């Protein structure tokens, strides 16, 4: 043995690292240690292997790379003694995770250890397996673990039970092997075994309906008895926490009973008495007791209805809600959210308390309470609740304002009883927190304002007033500028005065002042400035006396470095100067935007809203031809990997105003009109649909053109994912009809949710369809089976398919079924993919793909991006 290779003791190393004053010093110490450890590894030094691994673990915790030590773990695990194995398994769990290939190498050692004569070594192996096993290891080692469920020592049985949980989570198919051994565990007296057995049983029920049925029939009564014995058990010091015997066991029993009782009246009946007993007898002065009550309430809420019990549960929550402990209040809010589907009336009773929680100093509680308030709002209480929330908006923290604003806006839109109230509340929100208001929200406000013809005057005056007090909120400025542009005349002559208003005197030049300050404000962005320019153009016609001044303001931007502003400035200037005769017709008031179609499009773009393929198209008046053209182009677009034309919220409004002359890319209009003032009128009607109603008059032609343009442009902004999805599903159905050899529509996955198959990629020579399925209990993971069909008359050889996904997704590709693809659809290649979406429910799947193959010895490369996945994958 080389005395110099041993290095320092673990303790000394830790001391040396702790003595470091700077990060650089620490790095130096670690570097030196790592070098020594590497040297020892290279020399295959056995005596200090365990010490070196311990050092590596410490270094790993500090965040330094330690991959070179991974093989040392395996060597230690393979050595015969308990101490080496103990540290080896610890290193394995710490330094590796299930995704590393190295892990496969350890399977054999683990298998041997699971069969070891020393039960403590068996325990080590079970623990490691339970913490990091992969699906492959789970398959290989499940029989051993299953056998160990009947081991003589209870400490092994409990470890085996938890290890089994990991196994069935990784490979749900294995669940049925565990049903019988688990039933035996439920009869045990040893608390550890009972706790783990019950947990395993709960997880089995989640992955296998067969298991659920079995346990429901055979074990419900036994579990109820166990819980009763536990509740009535005398003081047991070993398990006592705050006067309660083993709350952990209590909670697990209640959880399993919940699973068994859900959807089954008989099972629910059997547990009613004991649940009532737990709910009434449990002491609630300590955390442990409250944890049990909390679990009990959840079980009562979930099992089949029993009126009396539910009242009891709601009362417990009411008590929780008035508790002074923040933790208890937090869980009460959490549970009330689930209770709202069961008994909304009972939850409404606590409305005032919940509203107070929105103002709590604790961010976690505020967030919970806000979610709950959102669910509590209905037609009858929307006014007072909104008032409270808006008032609170004034004083709330900056970092809470975003959430709060979004929720308030959503409430206002959803429940507004009348337009004036809607406008009033939105103005308040814009004034308080306009910077947090999302684009689509103020777009919607503009649509509503334009529809409320009797409120135009009122609104524009209110906005003018609001702008006098605050000009810091971007979206307030935008809405105000838009309204002043449209309804400037009403502002000045106080037209359409409502009784509730105080009259104000605004001169024409005051109105122009406001718009001018908006355009000059250095914080204004492009959208605001563009809108201000349009407003000025409109005012130049409405206020002839200010025309000269407006021209001066407009002209100031003719040298703007921003193309958009420069162009607007020049064009508007020439309209004001040279085209007096058409100006008034040009800048007439915006035609009323169609609220229904706007709402429909928005709804289809909002998450959580299921849109049907025809729902979107039908709601667009005159627009049927257009939206169907868009997906067509979309499908074609897939072949060339061009990102969808990006369009900001600004485009939407420019389109809304009809002055943005750039043709919407999807419209399919072949002429690309050049923007120029002289053809302005013609241009505005270019987008108009030939199929449109003939009765519309000139301004309405404008309107229909505009109506389409926002429709299409905003498809990008708002509705892109849902519409492509919708269209692609119809598209793929059509494919199926047209194509004899296209794959049959997918069988719905066994969890009952069917996802439409999609044509993921299509070029002139190749088509790829995706079928989706999901494993029950694992909504994040989607199994995709891709089928490639050759549409050309040449055989493809050396066929390689590659795919890439963004970071929030995890992709696993199985080997393809072949690498040559017969011509003319006379055969297919199939390839399965597994995608795990870590942002499931928040972000849809996307994927880029690259397909390489050879035709007649020539390399062909095709690339594409798939954006048309069904939304909820």
Partner 1 sequence: MIHFVLLISRQGKVRLTKWYSPYSQKERSKVIRELSGIVLNRGPKLCNFVEWRGHRVVYRRYAGLYFCMCIDEADNELEVLDIIHHFVEILDRYFGSVCELDLIFNFHKAYYILDEVLIAGEFQESSKRTIIRLLSTHDSMVEMAKEEATSIGNMIAQVTK
238 binds partner 1 (CB under 8 A): yes
Q: Which of the 8 DSSP states describes residue 760?
A: E
**Number of Cβ atoms within 10 Å of the Cβ of 21:** 7
Closest CB 373 distance from partner 1, rounded Å: 16
Interface with partner 1 includes 81 (CB under 8 A)? yes
Classify the C-alpha dihedral 184-185-187-188 as positive or negative: positive
Please identify, among the stretches 11-19, 344-352, 645-653, 749-757, the one whose residues bind partner 1 according to the rule CB under 8 A: 11-19
Q: How far is CA 257 from CA 176, 221, 246, 260, 589, in A?
A: 20, 10, 17, 5, 65
Sorted by sequence, the CB contacts under 8 Å of residue 173 that are 6+ apart come out as none
Site string for partner 1, 178-217 (x = CB under 8 A): -------------xx--xx--x------------------
- The one-character DSSP state at 455 is G
Q: Is the CB of 142 or the CB of 511 nearer to partner 1?
A: 142
Q: Is 40 or 369 the residue whose CB approaches partner 1 more closely?
A: 369
Tokens of 499: 């009784």
The piece of 92-100, 559-567, 670-678, 852-860 that touches partner 1 (CB under 8 A) is 92-100
Kindly state the number of chain residues that form the binding site for partner 1, as judged by CB under 8 A.
69
- x/- site string to partner 1, residues 279 to 298, per CB under 8 A? --------xx-xx--xx---
Q: How far apart are the first and last CA of the chain?
A: 59
How far is residue 592's CA from residue 702's CA, in Å, rounded to a whole number?
11
Distance in angstroms (rounded) separating the CA atoms of residues 743 and 130: 41
Rounded to whole angstroms, the Cα distance separating 139 from 124 reads 19
CA-to-CA dists, residue 586 to 156, 435, 447, 448, 681, angstroms? 84, 32, 20, 23, 8
What character string, x for contact with partner 1 (CB under 8 A) and - otherwise, covers 138-177? Answer: -----------------x--xx--xx-xx-----------
Among the residue ranges 320-328, 381-389, 749-757, 843-851, the one whose residues contact partner 1 (CB under 8 A): 320-328
Between 63 and 740, CB nearer to partner 1: 63
Q: Is 761 helix (H, G, I), strand (E, B) or coil?
A: strand
Q: Minimum Å distance from CB 84 to partner 1?
A: 8
Closer residue to partner 1 (CB): 365 or 661? 365
State yes or no: residue 131 binds partner 1 (CB under 8 A): yes
Complex with partner 1: residue 780 or 792, whichever CB lies closer: 780
Binding window for partner 1 (CB under 8 A); candidates: 358-366, 494-502, 602-610, 705-713: 358-366
Choice between 284 and 381, CB closer to partner 1: 284
Interacting residue with partner 1 among 3, 18, 503, 522 (CB under 8 A): 18
The answer to whether residue 340 forms part of the interface with partner 1 (CB under 8 A) is no
Q: Shortest gap between Cβ of 349 and partner 1 (angstroms)?
A: 23
- Tokens linked to 15: 């001391």
In contact, 815 and 855? CB cutoff 8 Å: no
Burial class (CB in 10 A: 0-12, 13-18, 19+), 513: middle
Instruction: For residue 99, give every residue at least 6 positions away whose Cβ sits within 8 Å of its Cβ, in sequence order, or none.
Output: 134
Residue among 292, 218, 229 at smallest CA distance from 255: 292
Cα–Cα distance list, 178 to 142, 157, 641, 844 (Å): 9, 13, 49, 35
Instruction: Kindly tell me which residue out of 136, 269, 304, 362 binds partner 1, with binding defined by CB under 8 A.
Output: 362
State which residue, 403 or 439, has the beta carbon closest to partner 1. 403
* DSSP per-residue codes, 789-841: EE-SSS-EEEEEEEEE--TTEEEEEPPPS-S-B-GGGS-EEEEEEEEEETTTT
**For partner 1, the closer CB: 160 or 760:** 160
Strand-strand pairing, 758-762 and 796-804: unpaired
If the CB atoms of residues 100 and 648 are measured against partner 1, the closer one turns out to be: 100
Q: How many CB atoms lie within 10 A of CB 518?
A: 23
527, 562 contact by CB (below 8 A): no
CB of 191 vs partner 1, minimal distance in Å: 5
What string marks each residue from 373 to 412 as x (binds partner 1 by CB under 8 A) or -? ----------------------------------------
The pair phi, psi for residue 473, each rounded to 5°, is: -95, 110
**Whole-number minimum distance, CB 98 to partner 1, in Å?**
5
Q: Does 509 bind partner 1 (CB under 8 A)?
A: no
**The pair of three-digit structure tokens given for residue 540, joined into one six-digit string:** 């130049």
657, two tokens = 């105003």
Residue 120 in contact with partner 1, rule: CB under 8 A: yes
Nearer to partner 1, 97 or 305 (CB): 97
Contact segment (CB under 8 A) with partner 1 among 62-70, 106-114, 630-638, 717-725 equals 62-70
Residues 830-859: x where in contact with partner 1 by CB under 8 A, - otherwise, as a string? ------------x-----------------
CA dihedral 856, 862, 868, 872 (to 10 degrees): 90
SS3 assignment, position 323: coil
**Which one among 7, 130, 434, 623 touches partner 1, defined by CB under 8 A?**
130
Q: By CB under 8 A, name the binding residues for partner 1.
A: 11, 14, 18, 54, 57-58, 61-63, 65, 81-83, 86-87, 90, 93-94, 97-99, 120, 126-127, 130-131, 155, 158-159, 162-163, 165-166, 191-192, 195-196, 199, 238-239, 241, 246-249, 251-252, 255, 287-288, 290-291, 294-295, 326-331, 334, 361-365, 367-368, 842
């Amino acid at each position: 043995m080389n005395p110099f290779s041993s290095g320092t003791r673990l303790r000394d190393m830790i001391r040396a690292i702790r003595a470091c004053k700077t990060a650089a010093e620490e790095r130096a110490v670690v570097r030196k240690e790592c070098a020594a450890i590497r040297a020892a590894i290279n020399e295959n030094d056995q005596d200090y292997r365990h010490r070196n691994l311990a050092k590596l673990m410490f270094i790993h915790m500090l965040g330094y790379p330690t991959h070179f030590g991974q093989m040392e773990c395996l060597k230690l695990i393979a050595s015969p003694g308990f101490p080496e194995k103990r540290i080896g398994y610890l290193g394995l769990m710490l330094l590796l995770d299930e995704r590393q290939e190295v892990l496969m190498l350890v399977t054999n050692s683990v298998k041997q250890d699971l069969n070891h004569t020393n039960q403590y070594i068996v325990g080590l192996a079970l623990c490691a397996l339970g913490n990091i096993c992969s699906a492959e290891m789970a398959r290989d080692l499940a029989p051993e673990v299953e056998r160990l469920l009947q081991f003589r020592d209870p400490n092994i049985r409990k470890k085996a039970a938890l290890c089994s949980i990991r196994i069935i989570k990784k490979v749900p198919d294995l669940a049925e092997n565990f049903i019988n051994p688990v039933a035996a565990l439920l009869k045990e007296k040893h608390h550890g075994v009972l706790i783990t057995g019950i947990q395993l049983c709960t997880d089995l029920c989640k992955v296998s309906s067969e298991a659920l049925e079995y346990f429901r029939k055979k074990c419900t009564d036994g579990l109820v008895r166990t819980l009763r014995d536990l509740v009535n058990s005398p003081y047991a010091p070993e398990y006592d926490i705050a006067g309660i015997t083993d709350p952990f066991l209590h909670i697990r029993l209640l959880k399993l009973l919940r699973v068994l009782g859900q959807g089954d009246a008989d099972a629910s009946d059997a547990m009613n008495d004991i649940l009532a007993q737990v709910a009434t007898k449990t002491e609630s002065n300590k955390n442990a007791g409250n944890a049990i009550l909390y679990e009990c309430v959840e079980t009562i809420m979930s099992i089949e209805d029993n009126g009396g019990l539910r009242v009891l549960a709601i009362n417990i929550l009411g008590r929780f809600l008035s508790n002074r402990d923040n933790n208890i209040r937090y869980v009460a809010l959490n549970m009330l959210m689930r209770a709202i589907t069961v008994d909304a009336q009972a939850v409404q009773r606590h409305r005032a308390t919940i509203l107070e929680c929105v103002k709590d100093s604790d961010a976690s509680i505020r967030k919970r309470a806000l979610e709950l308030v959102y669910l509590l709002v209905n037609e009858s209480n929307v006014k007072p609740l909104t008032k409270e929330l808006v008032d609170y908006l004034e004083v709330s923290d900056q970092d809470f304002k975003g959430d709060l604003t979004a929720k308030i806006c959503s409430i206002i839109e959803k429940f507004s009883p009348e337009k004036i109230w809607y406008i009033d509340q939105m103005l308040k929100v814009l004034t308080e927190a306009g910077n947090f208001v999302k684009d689509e929200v103020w777009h919607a406000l503009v649509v509503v304002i334009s529809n409320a013809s009797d409120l135009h005057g009122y609104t524009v005056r209110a906005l003018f007033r609001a702008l006098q007090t605050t000009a810091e909120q971007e979206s307030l400025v935008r809405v105000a500028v838009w309204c002043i542009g449209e309804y400037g005349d009403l502002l000045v002559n106080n037209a359409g005065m409502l009784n509730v208003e105080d009259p104000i005197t605004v001169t024409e030049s005051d109105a122009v002042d406001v718009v001018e300050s908006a355009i000059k404000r250095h914080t204004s962005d492009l959208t605001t400035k563009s809108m201000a320019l349009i407003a000025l153009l409109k005012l130049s016609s409405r206020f002839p006396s200010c025309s000269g001044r407006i021209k001066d303001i407009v002209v100031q931007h003719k040298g703007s470095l921003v193309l958009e502003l420069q162009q607007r400035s020049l064009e508007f200037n020439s309209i004001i100067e040279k085209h007096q005769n058409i100006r008034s017709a040009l800048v007439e008031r915006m035609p009323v935007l169609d609220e229904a179609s706007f709402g429909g499009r928005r709804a289809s773009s909002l998450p959580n809203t299921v849109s049907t393929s025809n729902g979107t198209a039908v709601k667009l008046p005159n627009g049927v031809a257009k939206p169907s053209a868009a997906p067509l182009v979309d499908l074609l677009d897939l072949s060339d990997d061009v990102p969808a034309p990006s369009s900001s919220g600004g485009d939407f409004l420019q389109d809304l105003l009809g002055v943005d002359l750039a043709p919407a890319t999807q419209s399919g209009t072949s002429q690309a009109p050049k923007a120029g003032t002289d053809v302005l009128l013609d241009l505005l009607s270019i987008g108009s649909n030939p199929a449109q109603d003939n009765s519309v008059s000139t301004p309405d032609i404008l309107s229909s053109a505009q109506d389409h343009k926002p429709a299409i442009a905003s498809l990008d902004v708002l509705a892109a994912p849902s519409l492509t999805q919708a269209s692609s599903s119809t598209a793929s159905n059509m494919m199926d009809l047209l194509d004899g050899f296209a794959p049959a529509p997918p069988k719905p996955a066994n969890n009952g949710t069917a996802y439409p198959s999609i044509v993921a990629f299509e070029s002139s020579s190749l088509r790829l369809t995706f079928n989706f399925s999901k494993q029950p209990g694992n909504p994040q993971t989607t199994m995709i089976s891709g089928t490639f069909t050759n549409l050309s008359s040449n055989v493809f050889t050396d066929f390689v398919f590659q795919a890439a996904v963004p970071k929030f997704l995890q992709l696993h590709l199985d080997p393809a079924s072949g690498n040559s693809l017969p011509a003319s659809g006379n055969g297919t290649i199939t390839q399965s993919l597994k995608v795990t979406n870590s942002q499931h429910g928040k972000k849809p799947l996307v994927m880029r793909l690259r397909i390489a193959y050879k035709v007649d010895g020539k390399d062909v490369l095709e690339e594409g991006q798939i954006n048309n996945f069904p939304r909820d994958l």
